[in-house]
Structure 1
């Protein structure tokens, strides 16, 4: 985090050039302006970063109550916090080699400068303030070496400061908590089960980096699971996370461009467990990012070199109040089963789909017909990826409270193709979709009489999601709403129904989709159990129709008992549903032969 007098350092300038950021002044303040005093005192947490004797950054979190951090002199920040002295890597680094000097309560006194950075953060009000400088002095004012519990005071000279925006800060209520029960549960690689579980649940972490002259500590937040584990094997672990649209200062990434070493702390606010990591980061831009995480143009991968997993090692606990409205959906690794990340077939880069028809099926579901600029080939049940950016992208914006999700939206959408190709290829393509978000909203409101041309990025879909045909029940397809579409295209090709059972969860108002689907594919109703949720006047005729067509109708949600009788029969389960139902199904079918897709937009 350079000062105003030094402007941007070389790494930051390189990131701005790589990401085509227009020229701007560095807003970092020299010193610690008085206007930041109340923001610091109101922050119940401070994330701290420093560098150990081997040049490796580490990050920790202190605090738990408002007022533990405050400015005590011109440019001086003071902290007074309970700390787990045995396993906290920042405490260990700052007090390293100082045990010979005894304080009043028998603890070590530190009188030296050590490069540091800090992030004062109030998750309840979504406020954060970056600070950089160095340690002046510190003292253990009360310590118990046997239990590892220590209360420390630390003075930090602040040379640079910068207030940050509230984007991606998930609101949490924070309370102080002791660390008497802190216990080291794991070190080294690969990451253990508890550490992997924490990463899977985490909706934020803190990271520290340095370019040599100073340090930077900041926050990264998102929906739970936004941090992905790319590799975890003997002696290695690689994490990756998407860099969401921010203020485009790229101070952290600029540091990493100059010096890839990084220190991370991942807290569990419920239990106080904490994962400390240090390693080396790689910045992934454009295709490098999208080749690892779906629909991501900027990401960071971290090759972990050392870890500590500490049970109950944090001096606070927290509970979720609300998630940031700017959080995009979790973006999955290409190795995970997601329709929009599957391999693409060889389609021409200039292939265009022109909207030529719209058929409303229910109040929220329609079928759209496109004419392709040239004939294309796809297999029944595959998906098509369309680029809506030319129609919807309004360019960069830092904050946009009226539409926060748009700031990380590349407007690339994937839809299952509802029809199979006519012969080896076709120019007519149909998609059946629910209105949800800006892309489908555009399809809904656009007048088909006016050409709407959308670039086709390709067709895709794993071969493992194609069902086999034959006698006996071989395939069980479980669908939620428009998750029926991969089945419709495959069933239309014929020869599938004899070995199929369909469990289909559907909203009451969407029953007309079932009527239309059963009418298009004779015999499909006879192998279907419909689970209808909600209720409304006017759909009773539709329910009677699907019953007359041969479907069994259940006026309730699907449950584990509905799939229990099909387990252990040697069948293959194909799941296509929204994330909530999909998660439950994967739990219910644990140990079965299961493949899945979801239709998250």
Structure 2
């Protein structure tokens, strides 16, 4: 937390970021000193993240631990803390006590008026409570310990500012103390593989910043595992670059305000399960709007960090953490644009208008949770007259922006719908209808109509399911993309057999192309297609409808119904007549043997190509079963 402005009670950086993000004027809730109502919360915390500046004014962050009460109020506005630390590698212990011998006491009688700056975050992950502290080091000592590797540090901190923070994005963890046996694995760049693994698993990290004038701030950033992305990890010019999205918070912007006036940042990423830890320091850049979205699509505010120094320490933390429940406020992982380069694909809208407007025209309920929606595609306002709107090819998806209908604006907390705080209400759905062909653009869809077939499981699909069709619903189409699950005709791919493996609505990439594939005028042009489709018993009417709509699809499909007691039970629901019904209905789940049988029945020794569209867990399992096969999958982490 930076020094406050005499009139506004906000720091220069906080005011600048609030203005940049158009935050209405508000009082600053930060308290001077440490009020009594924060003392109990601080003393209950089993962890404290501590920030300090090295001799080059670079921030570093460490995480210390103890039994509740290891951080406690000594006198008004002064706290003491005592923790076991890695004496050789803990960066904050090194900054504060590195020039002291064991047992030598540091003392600064003028600390409150201008001593060595430091900051802290007392945090209890079991109760999702945290209190930020900023101030000065009053006194400290590194006690003689059990050797050169670990030992106690004790310090007293004069607290000049404090504030309690909300529980958002704090994933619960049970903390137990641990005596570390630290080992420095790496202290250079680029980051080694194990450090990258820690970053990929991390659902929380701690960061310290400074306003450049001596005042500091330490806080956490939490969310789903993988919230911190690695944009570059290179020895050369690109260097080591990390990025993360700023989720909706209290809009005080203490950390971001510091970064606005002083770009230096210190970050620590703990592995709670192993005690391994990555310490980083570097420079950060705040990205807003389109600049943020270019790095992390669907992100309004992001931070880009260029790492200048790093340490990876094995078993370097004095605690372990047992994972509990994730925060209900966690949004999905925001991946880098480079990670999802195929995500928005061939046609991506510029700005908020998009490339077309989808007008809801039709709704067909196919099962209790699956519905087919028909849209008319129209040019957006101001579109050049006579120019065709965006188009798609088979097996592609459409990205639609529902924010104008569902975005409720800013709230600090929203316990009745926590996911909505960071939801941009942009959704990507596979187009399940066959494209209409254009005579001037062979094989590419003309604008006109589009269908999606989706399961109702969130605010967007509930909106579509419940919309009164007598009222217009117009949704911007931001782009079309994907298409890796397109099956070539036999002539295109040397007559290789194709096996399409789907679970539930994962069949949709096939629906837009099956009609053309199976009705090719010459038999030689038809691929040898087999379909293995797993779905729930309640979704059998969906399968029956698709078999009617696409002649020949049932004949090449083996249907696996996980909760079907006997194969005969599903016959009347799917086989309205033998011509449309599936070749086989199997009562049970799709198995490894089912896939191996498909491999074993390949014609003429030709290796089949497998096209897989399923949820992440099912896709992982299926690809492991088919480890030696030619597999095509498509990521849906847009």
Aligned to 1:507: 536
Aligned to 1:325: 328
Aligned to 2:363: 358
Q: Is the 8 A contact 1:371 1:429 kept in 2?
A: yes
Aligned to 1:292: 295
Structure 1 runs (4+) deviating above 6 angstroms are: none
Query: Could you tell which deviates more after superposition, 411-420 or 122-131?
Result: 411-420
The whole-number CA distance in structure 2 between the counterparts of 1:517 and 1:269 is: 48
The structure with more strand, counted as a fraction of residues: 1
CA offsets, 1:414-448, max 9 Å, x none? Answer: 11111133122131111111111111111000111
Aligned to 1:253: 256
1:350 to partner: Cα distance: 6.4
Distance 1:227 1:497, change over 3 A: farther
| TM-score normalised according to structure 1 size | 0.92
Q: Is the 8 A contact 1:479 1:503 kept in 2?
A: yes
Q: Secondary structure at the match of 2:217?
A: strand
CA offsets, 1:46-88, max 9 Å, x none? Answer: 0011111122111110014211111111211111111111111
Q: Which protein is bigger by CA-based radius of gyration?
A: 2
Equivalent residue runs for 1:89-488 within 5 Å: 89-99=91-101, 102-103=102-103, 108-112=104-108, 113-146=115-148, 148-179=149-180, 181-213=181-213, 214-235=215-236, 236-337=239-340, 340-345=343-348, 349=354, 351-374=356-379, 376=389, 377-424=391-438, 425-462=446-483, 464-470=484-490, 472-488=495-511
Distance 1:161 1:371, change over 3 A: same
Aligned to 1:20: 22
Q: Is the 8 A contact 1:508 1:536 kept in 2?
A: no
The whole-number CA distance in structure 2 between the counterparts of 1:291 and 1:403 is: 28
User: Where do 5+ consecutive residues of structure 1 fail to align?
Assistant: none
The whole-number CA distance in structure 2 between the counterparts of 1:433 and 1:595 is: 22
In the alignment, which of 551, 557, 561 is matched to residue 583 of structure 2?
551
1:594 to partner: Cα distance: 4.1
Query: Could you tell which deviates more after superposition, 372-381 or 506-515?
Result: 372-381
Aligned to 2:58: 56
RMSD of the TM alignment (CA)? 2.5
The whole-number CA distance in structure 2 between the counterparts of 1:584 and 1:293 is: 29
Q: Secondary structure at the match of 2:454?
A: strand
1:465 to partner: Cα distance: 3.8
The whole-number CA distance in structure 2 between the counterparts of 1:536 and 1:12 is: 62
1:131 to partner: Cα distance: 0.5
The whole-number CA distance in structure 1 between the counterparts of 2:155 and 2:344 is: 48
Q: Secondary structure at the match of 1:142?
A: coil
CA offsets, 1:501-541, max 9 Å, x none? Answer: 33322122112222222222223233333332234898553
Q: Secondary structure at the match of 2:117?
A: strand
The whole-number CA distance in structure 1 between the counterparts of 2:308 and 2:250 is: 30
CA offsets, 1:474-496, max 9 Å, x none? Answer: 54333221121111112233258
Aligned residue pairs: how many?
Answer: 592
Q: Is the 8 A contact 2:224 2:331 kept in 1?
A: yes
Aligned to 1:522: 551
1:41 to partner: Cα distance: 0.9
Q: Is the 8 A contact 2:571 2:585 kept in 1?
A: no
